[in-house]
Structure 1
Amino acid sequence: MKDGEHDDLPEVARTALLGFARQLETLTVEIRSLDNQLRAWHRQSAVSQRLQTIPGVGFITATAMAASVPDPAAFASGRQFAAFLGLVPRQNSSGGKDRLGRISKMGDPYLRTLLVNGATSIIRRVGRDDSATGIWIRRLLDKKPARVVTVAIANKTARIIWAVLLRGDVYRRPAVN
């Protein structure tokens, strides 16, 4: 574009847009700096690196979990940990009749969102996956909507995270039956 082509833009609008552009540039630099610091912390954290061995858990989820869950022994089971994150069905039970509803969403929304996003990436890659998990996911997708399966995978991932944190071991894929 040639100089003078934007003369029809009022000066106040041009000034405001230039201010927004400077703010965006500053935020980009700050985000890049925080990302580098987070990656450096991840490289130094054995716990975070072990968590990243789990499918659907990237370095951001791994660092968030490692920083947010200092003592996995505080939870009696993986299901209790998943409930802490809000990834279990809400129970509306009475008179001995169990009724399971939508997920409770009672836990940390950031951690839950990271797990659901990771589960979504697993579903997108499941087409050629012949592992036991891939087969399980395809069977679920045949019966249930993708969003329900996504939450089921996020729940399973939360339970695996709890086990990896508790045992201090890396993730090992289950064998195909």
Structure 2
Amino acid sequence: MIMVTGAQGQLASRTLQELAARGTPALGGSRTPAAVQRRLDFDDRASLDLTGVSTLVLVSAGYAEDDRVLARHRAVLGAALRDGVGHVVYTSLTGAGDHLGFALAHRATERLVRDSGLTWTILRNGLYAERSPRGSGTGSSGASAPTSYGCSADRSPWRRRPPPRCGRSGRRSVRNPRGGTVGP
């Protein structure tokens, strides 16, 4: 079964909707779970029960100082190893996102995921495009190609191709010899 963390958030809830529409068994995990979700609070290690989860979609652990976010991510990755999760999908920044204030925690989490011993996929989606003023890209022309939350959910690894309404980037997935994938 797939578990998506942060189930009450925009990206995770849309991802869960997409999975349900396809008939793919999935479960949401949240600090404040709905009736059909599992309580999963990264600050409460006793709640980190990933029993029966084959794929963990790790949506970043929320707003906090970098050390706090990394401690949360480290805790859930430890639980994933303990409980036999086979694959971790981490939602991270686009390749050009290093100028953002929260990039450090994402890049450090990518290293944690890569070094975890689990197979992994790192999504380089435009998750934070909604927060940027239109046309404020990083290229010399100022062009950007933001991706919405819906398109980020549609680009998830369980979908073979993004729907036509979503923008496409020139990036390609990069396969890691240990079984991980870095992709758009």
Same fold (TM over 0.5): no
Tell me the TM-score range normalised by the shorter chain: under 0.3
Structure (1 or 2) with the greater strand fraction: 2
Structure (1 or 2) with the greater helix fraction: 1
Larger-Rg structure: 1
